[in-house]
Structure 1
Amino acid sequence: MRDFVYPPVVGLCRTAFKVLDVRFQLTGTANVPRTGGALIALNHISYVDFVLGGYGALPSGRLVRFMAKEVLFRNRFSGPLMRGMHHIPVDRSAGAASYQQALDFLRAGEVVGVFPEATISRSFELKEFKSGTVRLAAEAGVPVIPMILWGTQRFLTKDHPKDFARHRPISITVGAPITVTPDDDPGAATDALRATMAGMLDETIRAYPEQPAGAWWLPAAYGGSAPTPAEADRIDREELERRAAKKAQSQE
């Protein structure tokens, strides 16, 4: 696959990281295979997780094709970039096409990035996982590479203003490849993947150099003031209800 857009974007991001003096803590990046198809599963806590997740694969020389909301591909600014970097548009009302495109990419030896939670976690802990990740890996015959991002929520996330302050630590932890076969139960395999990533997230949070009590970006279970998972789920439901009501009103 020819990439004319992706390398310059990577260069711009590297420059931005230097200007911001982002203090990366990279662990286990060698687990991203240098050749062949692989499916990277990431936690989702920020709108910039695509950028930082891709950065975690660069030490292995890989460019990640992320599955992302279709609306990003229709935007006049992000659309050309998303298409140029060969990311995969996901239309939730017609998911078969995006699934097939991801499958084709994986079989062609590409690295595809997915967020099993499907949306940003307001609690910054893991939400429930969709089973599509393990189903895709099993059908393509590629390993699942678990990746945890931490600190990205401090840049840009839901319910908080953007803050690209300098000298911020960002942790990226990559776990060992996980093999999933067509004979494995998708539900059990999904639970196992989530449990693995929950353990990785706990280790990454505890190793993070900043742990201010009461910080909005720190989970409640770690002494922060972020919503608990139950509170975050309630806020998510209320948000969906408002969107549905607004959509219904516009159609009247």
Structure 2
Amino acid sequence: MRRYRGFFVPGLYEGIAANRDEAVERFYQGLVGFTRRVMRAAKIDVTVIGAENIPAHGGALLAGNHTGYADFILLGTGPFLHGERLVRFMAKASVFDVPVLGRLLKVMKHVPVDRARGGDSIAPAVQMLKDGNLVGIFPEATISRSFELAHFKTGAARIAHQAGVPLIPCVIWGSQRIWTKDLPKHLTNVPVIVRYGEPVALTGDADADTAELKRQMQLLLDASRAQYAEFFHDGAGEPWMPVALGGTAPTVEEADKIYARERAAREAQKKHRKR
């Protein structure tokens, strides 16, 4: 591994010229630069593998696992290295109505998703991809407390197929040690591995394509975990490591029950507010 633009990359990796259209977005690029400086000062050492799988131009959907609140930042490291590209993340439409925050999200061209529209909710993401942008999505739709790959929704496969763009799997490992649900924050001195795979071959069968996406992401996750254990920390006995690998995180079943209780509580609050 060697350092390249503040990150660790494989020795044979070669960067490419900046994407001219995206490099001129001053606000978003400035925010990326600021975040890089903060991460460096905090000694959040990020190893990026497979950035060459991200296209230099044109649309692509990046599908990542979700274990911590820093995943939005970390998923964008590969695109930054490979042409200074920017990722437009999908977010709940209601967030765009929040003063100041909504305005910032619009400036950065993030993608509003209105789940009440059903199948039509993916239309903005499809259009953003057809316009030549990178779009980021987390198929699990929520942070996985088990730190295993949780249930995947089919949106990623449907969006990529409908837009006619590559679906690129991404796995982040170590983010849960920085900041995640139910665990203390550790905002300094944490290594992270971000790994991108080759595009998933899409058939148009959303269920089958989603299963293949998850299979490929599991392979990437296994590789990153093995590398992490060898060079950084094996996670034995740690709450940020899955039970199956010697950690003390909730099992997938336990995590599902926690999520179900949270969802029920949210629904109860909504009904109470409507009274």
TM-score range, shorter chain: over 0.9
- The 5 Å alignment of 1:49-64 reads 49-61=71-83, 62-64=85-87
Verify: 1:90 aligned to 2:119, yes or no: no
Shift of 1:71: 4.1
Q: Percent identity over the alignment? A: 43
8 Å CA contact 1:142–1:179 kept in 2: the answer is no
Task: List per-residue Cα deviations over 1:120-147 (Å, max 9, x = no partner).
Answer: 1111111111111111111111111100
For the residues of structure 2 that align with 1:71 and 1:52, how far apart are their CA atoms?
24
Shift of 1:251: 2.6
Give the match for residue 191 of structure 1: 211
For the residues of structure 2 that align with 1:132 and 1:51, how far apart are their CA atoms?
21
Give the match for residue 199 of structure 2: 177
8 Å CA contact 1:88–1:98 kept in 2: the answer is no
8 Å CA contact 1:118–1:130 kept in 2: the answer is yes
Task: List per-residue Cα deviations over 1:43-81 (Å, max 9, x = no partner).
Answer: 011122111111121111211111123343334453333
Q: Is the partner of 2:89 in helix, strand or coil?
A: strand
Verify: 1:72 aligned to 2:95, yes or no: yes
Shift of 1:215: 0.8
Match of 1:202 among 222, 226, 241: 222
Give the match for residue 228 of structure 1: 251
For the residues of structure 1 that align with 2:25 and 2:227, how far apart are their CA atoms?
36
Shift of 1:96: 5.0
Match of 2:249, as an amino acid?
Answer: A
For the residues of structure 2 that align with 1:118 and 1:212, how far apart are their CA atoms?
25
Stretch deviating more after TM superposition (230-239 or 88-97): 88-97
Match of 1:20 among 27, 37, 42: 42
Shift of 1:162: 2.8
Unaligned runs of 5+ residues in structure 1 are: none
Aligned positions, number: 249
Match of 2:244, as an amino acid?
Answer: A
Shift of 1:110: 0.8
Shift of 1:26: 1.2
TM-score of the aligned structures, taking structure 2 as reference length: 0.85
For the residues of structure 1 that align with 2:124 and 2:259, how far apart are their CA atoms?
29
Shift of 1:90: 1.9
Match of 2:212, as an amino acid?
Answer: A
Give the match for residue 216 of structure 1: 239
RMSD: 1.7
For the residues of structure 2 that align with 1:79 and 1:47, how far apart are their CA atoms?
19
Verify: 1:150 aligned to 2:170, yes or no: no
Shift of 1:35: 1.1
Give the match for residue 248 of structure 1: 271
Give the match for residue 185 of structure 2: 162
Q: Is the partner of 1:57 in helix, strand or coil?
A: helix
8 Å CA contact 1:72–1:78 kept in 2: the answer is yes
8 Å CA contact 1:125–1:219 kept in 2: the answer is yes
Shift of 1:95: 4.9
Match of 2:66, as an amino acid?
Answer: H
Match of 1:190, as an amino acid?
Answer: T
- Post-superposition, which runs of at least 4 consecutive aligned residues in structure 1 deviate over 3 A? 74-78, 95-98
